[in-house]
Homo-oligomer: A and B are copies of this chain.
Amino acid sequence: MNNWINLDKRDAFKQLCETPKVELKEVMTGENGAKRVNEYSVEMAEGMVYNFAAKAVDDKTLEVLQKLADEAGLIDKYEELYDGAVINTGEKRLVLHQLCRGQLGKDVFADGVNKRDFYLEQQRKIKVFADKVHNGEIVNEKGEKFTNVVQIGIGGSDLGPRAMYIALENWARKTGNLSLEAKFISNVDPDDASAVLNSVDVAKTLFVLVSKSGTTLETLTNETFVKESLIKAGLDPAKHMVAVTSETSPLAKNEGYLDAFFMDDYIGGRYSSSSAVGGCVLSLAFTPEVFDDFLKGAHASDVLAKEKDIMKNAAMLDALIGLYERNVLGYEATAVLPYSQALSRFPAHLQQLDMESNGKSVNRYGEQMNYVTGPILFGEPGTNGQHSFYQLLHQGKNIVPMQFVGFRRSQLGNDLMIKGSTSQAKLNANVSAQIVGYACGKKDEDPNKVFDGNRPCSIIIGDELTPSCLGALLAHFENKVMFQGFLWNVNSFDQEGVQLGKVLANRVLAHETDGALKAFSDLFGI
User: Which of B51, B355, B391 contacts A495, CB < 8 Å?
Assistant: B391
- Asked if A501 lies at the interface with its beta carbon under 8 angstroms from chain B, I say yes
Interface residues of A in 181-221 (CB under 8 A from B): 186-195, 198, 217-218, 220-221
- Decide: B188 and A423 in contact? CB cutoff 8 A: yes
Q: Which residue of B lies closest to A173 (CB)?
A: B198
Q: Is residue A500 contacting chain B, with contact meaning CB distance below 8 A?
A: yes
Interface string of A333-375 (1 = CB under 8 A from B): 1000001111000001001100110111110001111011110
**Residue from the set A333, A369, A491 with the largest chain B CB neighbour count within 10 Å:** A333
Contact with B along A378-413 (1 / 0, CB 8 A): 101111101111111111111010000010101110
Give complex CA distance A376, B122 in Å: 42
17 pairs of residues in contact across A and B, judged by CB atoms under 8 Å:
A32-B515, A154-B383, A156-B387, A159-B388, A187-B381, A187-B427, A189-B381, A189-B424, A195-B341, A351-B389, A355-B396, A362-B450, A371-B397, A378-B378, A433-B517, A434-B501, A448-B496
Query: Are A155 and B388 neighbours in the complex by a CB distance under 8 Å?
Result: yes
Query: With the chains together, A519 CA to B432 CA distance in Å?
Result: 9
Q: Are B429 and A526 in contact (CB under 8 A)?
A: yes
Which of B362, B400, B515 lies in contact with A448, CB distance below 8 A? B362
Q: Smallest CB-CB separation from A424: which chain B residue?
A: B190
- Oligomeric state, in copies: 2
Q: Is the CB of B516 within 8 A of A430?
A: no
Name the CB-closest residue of B to A433.
Answer: B504
Write the nearest CB–CB distance from A175 to chain B, whole angstroms: 14
Please give the distance in Å from A293's CB to the nearest CB on chain B.
Answer: 19
Question: Considering the chains assembled together, what is the distance between the CA atoms of A423 and B193 in angstroms?
Answer: 10
Do the beta carbons of B505 and A29 come within 8 Å of each other?
no
**A49 to B: closest C-beta gap in Å:** 8
Known A34-B518, A387-B154, A516-B436; contact A360-B395, beta-carbon cutoff 8 A:
yes
Is B359 a contact of A376 with CB atoms below 8 Å?
Answer: no
Residues of B within 8 Å of A491, CB to CB, are 448
At the interface, yes or no: A233 with Cβ under 8 Å from chain B? no
Tell me which of A191, A434, A494, A525 has the highest count of chain B C-beta atoms within 10 A of its own C-beta: A191
- Given A355-B396, A383-B188, residue A437 in contact with residue B37 (CB < 8 A): no
The one of B411, B423, B450, B521 that contacts A225, using a Cβ cutoff of 8 Å: B423
Report A493-520 CB contacts with B as 1/0, cut-off 8 Å: 0111111111111111100001111111
Does chain B have a CB within 8 A of A54? yes
* A257 cross-chain contacts in B, Cβ below 8 A: none
Decide yes or no whether A2 CB sits under 8 A from chain B: no
Q: Is A509 touching B461 in the complex (CB atoms < 8 A)?
A: no
A304 located at the interface, meaning its Cβ lies under 8 Å from any Cβ of chain B in the complex: no
Q: Is the Cβ of B509 less than 8 Å from the Cβ of A190?
A: no
**Residues of chain B contacted by A159 (CB below 8 angstroms):** 384, 388
**Complex: chain B residue closest to A352, CB-CB:** B388
- Which residues of chain B are near A440, meaning CB under 8 Å? 516
List of 10 A-B pairs having minimum Cβ-Cβ separation, nearest first: A359-B392, A155-B387, A33-B516, A433-B504, A37-B519, A429-B508, A352-B388, A359-B396, A394-B497, A432-B520
Give the residues in chain B near A373, CB-CB below 8 Å.
396-397
Question: Across the interface, which residues of B come within 8 angstroms of A360, CB to CB?
Answer: 391, 395-397
Among B38, B410, B433, the residue within 8 A (CB) of A501 is B433
Task: Kindly report which residue of chain B lies nearest to residue A389, judged by CB atoms.
Answer: B355
Whole-angstrom distance from the CB of A487 to the nearest CB of chain B? Answer: 14
The residues of B that contact A496 with a CB separation of less than 8 Å are 395, 448-449
Which stretch, A4-12, A112-120, A414-422, A473-481, touches the partner chain B?
A414-422
Given contact pairs A29-B515, A33-B519, a sample of 10 additional A-B residue pairs in the complex whose CB atoms are under 8 Å apart? A188-B426, A192-B341, A195-B412, A221-B418, A333-B333, A371-B397, A426-B505, A429-B524, A433-B502, A436-B520
A519 cross-chain contacts in B, Cβ below 8 A? 33-34, 37-38, 53
> Do residues B430 and A361 form an inter-chain contact, with CB atoms below 8 A?
no
Partner of A37, one of B51, B461, B520: B520
- Chain B residues, CB < 8 A from A186: 384
Instruction: Tell whether A425 is near chain B: CB-to-CB under 8 Å.
Output: yes
Contact of A359 among B191, B391, B418, B422 (CB under 8 A): B391
Which residue of chain B is the closest to A453 with respect to CB atoms?
A: B500
Q: Across the interface, do B515 and A30 meet the contact criterion of CB distance under 8 Å?
A: yes
Residues of chain A from 103 to 125 with CB closer than 8 A to chain B in the complex = none
Contacting pair A189 B339 (CB below 8 A): yes
Distance from A325 Cβ to chain B, minimum over Cβ atoms (Å):
14
